[in-house]
Amino acid sequence: MSETPAGSSDSRPSPAELRWPWKNLYFPLREVIGELEPQWIRASTLVRLFYAFMIFQAVSSYNAWIILMERQEAQPLWPLFWTRFVPWEPAMFAIGLAFIFGAVAAALFPTNVIARLAAFLGMFLFESAKYSFGKISHNHHLIVGAALILIFLPRVVPAEDSRERSQRRYLEVFWAVQAYILLTYSMAGIAKLHGAVLDMLLDRRSLLSVEALASHIAHDYVSRGKSSALGMGEFIIANPWLGGPLFWGAVALEFFSFAIAWKPGLHRLWGMSLIGLHVGIGVAMEVWFRPVILMIGIFLLASPFAPAYRTFSFGLRDVPWLGPFLCGLWAEMRSQREKGSSKAAEVDHITVYLRPGWRFEAKIKALLSEPESAERFQILSMDGAEYRSLAESFPYLRTPQFMVVDSGRGESRQIRAGAEACLWALAHLRRSGWRNGFALLLIPNPLLELALARMSRSSPANDG
């Protein structure tokens, strides 16, 4: 986890959070929320942009609104149960008006909870009506879900004493929208893995087949009697070996998405990758999720939590599961290429702080003191004045830590704590970085994080 000097005392875990580790998984988002004021300013601007986008959606739905009023034979979804008691056409007229006026109200007054509630209800009912004819499509689900979550945005008050707290809550709600968007992709990844198991059990062509993507495209073309304008789909059907790995990569991208909510360093990269996924689907299958692309753009590409500056390796380490391995490999490659250069010296400036009495203290010390790595790592105790000085600048470090790594200089300076620090340091061992990374590849990061956190809590050194 990286932290910037302007943290908040609110980031300290409460006694309940220490007792129940699962609470640490979500709140208070130490890895995500850093400098409150600039992040809050960016987030509140994006919220305004989101509601402007809702106006665009409402206006774009004009033709659908007219058709809705004229249509008969609806099978209303549950939110429209009340349409059984009123005539359909006036009900649809009212819903259409609610959609546009709700969106306008929220765009004008995004700090007003009634306006945000109206925006959600208007779009929710309108979309429910659109999907009351036998098929629910998923182009606008993310907008409805985001509007639902954003209802709970707190008002950020100017008063000094509670401003930080309300800004933090505001950013948490904004983060929840990002998590919601990413969760839907992980659910899509889970569904594909589940489907693959079923297909294999039934001895059918499955996700593991190189022809999987070609089959999806062929199925789409056959069903809808069409093809892609650029011929990309036809190319993949003719060359299934190309589509297989592409599809597996897409499934991995989807599956790991939810974890990225906690990795602000990857918000932009992941957002761009998801947009790329939609562009690929659109070009190959002519199935476009245009509103979804803009939602990803607003909430992930423009993420207020993404660091302004990030080196390639610092982004790499956040990649789920493969991160430590890739990071170790990258460190190894750099060390070979830049041996002796001034750039290498800058990266080599790594200070490791260890808590005395931590159960892995001796082991980590021994590893970092190997002849090839000793010159690179400066190992200090957390009881020393240096660590106290560091904790002054980084309030998060005042909470109990078992290991902290301070690396880089200037803008590339990064502070890592806990299991991440441990993984990062091991992956940066000069001689055997990639091998350690490879070993760590076998352990899912969140499990290691939980295990180490638990160990550190049970350590007598941390009891005080």
Please list every residue from 24 through 83 that binds another protein, using CB under 8 A: 26-27, 71-73, 75, 77-79
Provide, rounded to whole angstroms, the least separation between the CB of residue 183 and another protein: 6
Nearer to another protein, 180 or 270 (CB): 180
Return the residue matching tokens 């006036």: 90
> What are 60-64's contacts with CB under 8 Å, separation 24+?
61/96, 61/99, 61/126, 64/130
Cα distances (Å, whole numbers) of residue 160 to 157, 163, 165 = 8, 5, 10
Nearer to another protein, 151 or 461 (CB): 151
Residue type, 363: K
What's the distance, Cα to Cα, between the start and end of the chain in Å? 24
Among 150-158, 269-277, 355-363, 448-456, the segment contacting another protein (CB under 8 A): 150-158
Distance of CA 116 to the CA centre of its chain: 24
Nearer to another protein, 8 or 459 (CB): 8
Question: How far apart are the C-alpha atoms of 388 and 391, rounded to whole Å?
Answer: 5
Site for another protein in 211-250 (CB under 8 A): 211-212, 214-216, 218-219, 221-226, 237
Question: How far apart are the C-alpha atoms of 350 and 377, rounded to whole Å?
Answer: 5
Give the other-Cβ count within 10 Å of 290's Cβ: 11
Site for another protein in 393-432 (CB under 8 A): none
Does 280 interact with another protein (rule: CB under 8 A)?
A: no
| Sheet architecture: strand order including 350-354 | 377-381, 350-354, 403-407, 414-417
Does 290 interact with another protein (rule: CB under 8 A)?
A: no
Nearer to another protein, 41 or 193 (CB): 193
Tell me which of 4, 184, 378, 399 binds another protein, using CB under 8 A.
184
DSSP sequence for 22-79: HHHHHSS-TTT---HHHHHHHHHHHHHHHHHHHHHHHHHTHHHHHHHHH-------GG
Question: How far apart are the C-alpha atoms of 180 and 184, rounded to whole Å?
Answer: 6
Give the other-Cβ count within 10 Å of 363's Cβ: 10
Among 33-41, 179-187, 299-307, 425-433, the segment contacting another protein (CB under 8 A): 179-187
Provide, rounded to whole angstroms, the least separation between the CB of residue 159 and another protein: 13
Among 100-108, 146-154, 313-321, 402-410, the segment contacting another protein (CB under 8 A): 146-154
Nearer to another protein, 205 or 388 (CB): 205
Q: How many residues bind another protein (CB under 8 A)?
A: 71
Residues 6+ away with beta carbon under 8 Å from 426: 324, 328, 367, 433, 436, 437, 440
Does 149 interact with another protein (rule: CB under 8 A)?
A: yes
Does 183 interact with another protein (rule: CB under 8 A)?
A: yes
Tell me which of 104, 118, 141, 418 binds another protein, using CB under 8 A.
141
Tell me which of 169, 310, 317, 355 binds another protein, using CB under 8 A.
169
Among 96-104, 187-195, 326-334, 441-449, the segment contacting another protein (CB under 8 A): 187-195
Provide, rounded to whole angstroms, the least separation between the CB of residue 177 and another protein: 8
Nearer to another protein, 157 or 374 (CB): 157
Joined tokens for residue 383: 């009881």
Nearer to another protein, 35 or 286 (CB): 286
Does 385 interact with another protein (rule: CB under 8 A)?
A: no
Nearer to another protein, 49 or 148 (CB): 148
Provide, rounded to whole angstroms, the least separation between the CB of residue 194 and another protein: 7
Of 316, 442, 422, 315, residue with least CA distance to 365: 422
Helix (H, G, I), strand (E, B) or coil at 187: helix
Tell me which of 44, 166, 273, 335 binds another protein, using CB under 8 A.
166
Question: How far apart are the C-alpha atoms of 36 and 170, rounded to whole Å?
Answer: 10
